[in-house]
Structure 1
Amino acid sequence: MVELAIAGGSGQVAREIIDALLATGNHNITILTRNDTPANHDLPGVRWRVVNYNDQNLLVEALREIHTLLSFIQPLSDPEGKIQKTLIDAAIAAGVKRFVPSEYGSAGTIDMPWWSGKERTREYLRQVNTKSKQKVLEYVLFQPGLFLDYLAFPYKTSKHIDPLQSIFDFQSCRAIVVDGHEDAIMTLTSARDVAALVARAVDYQGRWPEVGGISGNRMSVAQIIATGQGIRGRPFTIEKVRLEDLEAGVLKTSWALGKRHHSISEEQANNVATTVSIGILLSSSKGAWDVSTELNQLFPEYEFDDMEGFLARVWDGKS
């Protein structure tokens, strides 16, 4: 049995992956929490340990005997990456062998300021290993692109991850695209596949790749829209935006993302919706969502959810 610790274990992505890890029966899992009564305290087969993420000494004690530490610290709550830096330092001091930072999205972070902490964490992980003659902490960046489940909005297709609207609105048969960048590539992977591949990677005995791309479906923006039109049986209304407007922070569309992420307050919602729409459009046009395939290659026998089949089942019989 491998000793695992989970930081930020109450989040939706964390819950999906914890379920997959528990299903293997291969791990003793300790969830680090800031709260005496965590929201998911009823999880069978896990231990809970209250920690202060700002106290490195206490974190070191909590991580003694831990082999692998997975972080699900929400980047929006740690924009400078300070919590994850403290976790990394504590993990090294405690003798943790493997670390997984909070990623689970795009490969690049360009034009997505809400993920600025990710880039700081990536750089810090590179630094701690280059300062030593040998690798002091093995790590992997799990990058699955966009959750395929979001294209099922408003229908829930996973146990824990809530529906979230994207620039591809299958419900209303519409999409927002950057004019002239319809060939931009995006990767879409279901939550089920992400959790399954992460669980396999945690069990993997060989050396982790530093970048762990998980590519369920790799498609151009135009192909995603064409797939949606075929599934929904009608043409999509396409609103095209200019790159220069987006670069200036202007979104000239009749609609934007409406459903807010659970980590965003109602007061922040309007501004964040515009910022996220602009950021995803800009970053996709620059290749940020075209993730690599390291975990596909590591587990070639795994069969991913096909986008067309997955969404056809969701939208079958719906007007």
Structure 2
Amino acid sequence: MVKIAIAGATSQLAREVIDKLVATQKHEIIALVRKDPSDLPTLPGLTWVRTTYEDKGELVKLLQGVHTVLCFITVHQDVENETQKRLIDASVEAGVKRYAPSEWSTGVKLASSTDVMPWYANKVGVAEYLEQLNKDKQVLEYCRFQVGPYMDSFAHPHRTPKHVRMISSQFDYERLQAIVVEGSLDTELTYTAVEDIANIVARAVDYEGTWPVIGGVSGDRLTVRELLRLAEVVRGKPFKIDWVKLEDLEAGELKSDNYPRIDLPSIPKDQVEAFSKMATRGVLIAACRGAWTVSDEWNRLLPDYKFTKVEDLLRGIWQ
């Protein structure tokens, strides 16, 4: 049993992880939130704690006795990474052993694609801050959990996770349509189911060895060609494909109207269309650069864990 602190504890993925940790009945959990805790559910072994994250001294007090900090704050809203840097510094001062920065997405090649996915740039900044912290000796054990896109997006509009709200992806298995970059059929992409992510994090908390700095969680790795083939296997029909050129995307053009609409609470309604097109362009370009291919460190450290495969998820939903 260890004491765990969850930062950004009301985020959707954090709630999935919290449910798994609570279910183990092993740990004492403090869940750090900005909102009024009275509006949040009562869970055994968990205490909701309100904080602004702006007072380092307060954070040091809150983290006393904490073994592991798992961070899920929204990085693009953290100006200059001030909040997460303060949380890291407070963790060190409080004697925290392990820290997981707010990554939970792309693989190690993200740094090459922040020009087209600027909303993820702060993930790289935090990774550099942690690397510098441990430059001369290990001050804080940390792991960059990298999981790729959520596999559950293939089930859209059906909801498979309890808390994470899905949007469709470039591969829309409901409408049987896809946006594909010309020449990218053999590009590999890594997808991991939300339940598997939460399960691996819960097991990583109990892991007795040293956490890997790069913590790839690879549910299933497939090429674009294989993802398109699965439409015929599972749905009995091929995708309608909108072929786009990489040079058009890099020039700021998305010559398709079938892009997913990213209608999230953090995006003003009048900006949904523009952001959705921009994000789709960025995701497609980054895929061609290998940013959505994730390593498998946790797969190798936890070899007995059986991950959900894309075909199994698709059959479970669409057949």
Same fold (TM over 0.5): yes
Shift of 1:51: 1.3
Residue 46 of structure 2 aligns to which amino acid in structure 1? Answer: V
Q: Is 1:212 equivalent to 2:212 in the alignment?
A: no
Counterpart pick for 2:175 among 156, 166, 172: 172
Counterpart residue number, 2:160: 157
Q: Check whether the contact 1:164–1:261 (CA below 8 A) recurs between aligned residues.
A: no
Counterpart residue number, 2:129: 124
Counterpart residue number, 1:266: 269
Other structure's SS at 2:37 match: coil
Shift of 1:57: 1.4
Shift of 1:39: 4.5
Shift of 1:38: 5.7
Counterpart pick for 1:311 among 300, 310, 314: 314
- State how far apart, in whole Å, the 1-side matches of 2:99 and 2:271 are: 32
Where do 5+ consecutive residues of structure 1 fail to align? none
- State how far apart, in whole Å, the 1-side matches of 2:100 and 2:122 are: 14
Q: Is 1:102 equivalent to 2:102 in the alignment?
A: yes
Counterpart residue number, 1:286: 289
- State how far apart, in whole Å, the 1-side matches of 2:125 and 2:72 are: 15
Q: Check whether the contact 1:10–1:39 (CA below 8 A) recurs between aligned residues.
A: no
Post-superposition Cα deviations, 1:155-193, rounded to whole Å, max 9, x if no partner, equal 001111112111111111010111111111100111111
- State how far apart, in whole Å, the 1-side matches of 2:242 and 2:80 are: 34
- State how far apart, in whole Å, the 1-side matches of 2:49 and 2:57 are: 14
- State how far apart, in whole Å, the 1-side matches of 2:249 and 2:87 are: 36
Q: Is 1:4 equivalent to 2:4 in the alignment?
A: yes
Shift of 1:261: 3.2
Distance 1:186 1:39, change over 3 A: farther
Percent identity (aligned)? 43
Residue 149 of structure 2 aligns to which amino acid in structure 1? Answer: L
TM-score normalized with structure 2 length: 0.95
- State how far apart, in whole Å, the 2-side matches of 1:11 and 1:284 are: 25
- State how far apart, in whole Å, the 1-side matches of 2:36 and 2:220 are: 40
Post-superposition Cα deviations, 1:226-274, rounded to whole Å, max 9, x if no partner, equal 1123211111111111111111111111221124234333233122101
Q: Check whether the contact 1:10–1:38 (CA below 8 A) recurs between aligned residues.
A: no
Residue 183 of structure 2 aligns to which amino acid in structure 1? Answer: G
Residue 133 of structure 2 aligns to which amino acid in structure 1? Answer: V
Other structure's SS at 2:293 match: coil
Other structure's SS at 2:272 match: helix
Counterpart residue number, 2:118: 113
Distance 1:39 1:164, change over 3 A: farther
Counterpart residue number, 1:202: 205
TM-score normalized with structure 1 length: 0.95
- State how far apart, in whole Å, the 2-side matches of 1:199 and 1:34 are: 24
Other structure's SS at 1:136 match: coil
Q: Check whether the contact 2:37–2:50 (CA below 8 A) recurs between aligned residues.
A: no
Counterpart residue number, 2:46: 46
- State how far apart, in whole Å, the 2-side matches of 1:139 and 1:38 are: 32
Residue 29 of structure 2 aligns to which amino acid in structure 1? Answer: I
Post-superposition Cα deviations, 1:258-306, rounded to whole Å, max 9, x if no partner, equal 2423433323312210111011100000101110000000000111112
Between 133-142 and 288-297, report the one with greater CA deviation. 133-142
- State how far apart, in whole Å, the 2-side matches of 1:261 and 1:122 are: 26
Residue 288 of structure 2 aligns to which amino acid in structure 1? Answer: S
Distance 1:237 1:220, change over 3 A: same
- State how far apart, in whole Å, the 1-side matches of 2:18 and 2:286 are: 30
Other structure's SS at 1:231 match: helix
Count how many residue pairs are aligned between Structure 1 and Structure 2: 314
- State how far apart, in whole Å, the 1-side matches of 2:225 and 2:296 are: 22
**What pairs up with 1:241-256 in 2 under 5 angstroms?**
241-256=244-259
Other structure's SS at 1:161 match: coil
Counterpart residue number, 2:235: 232
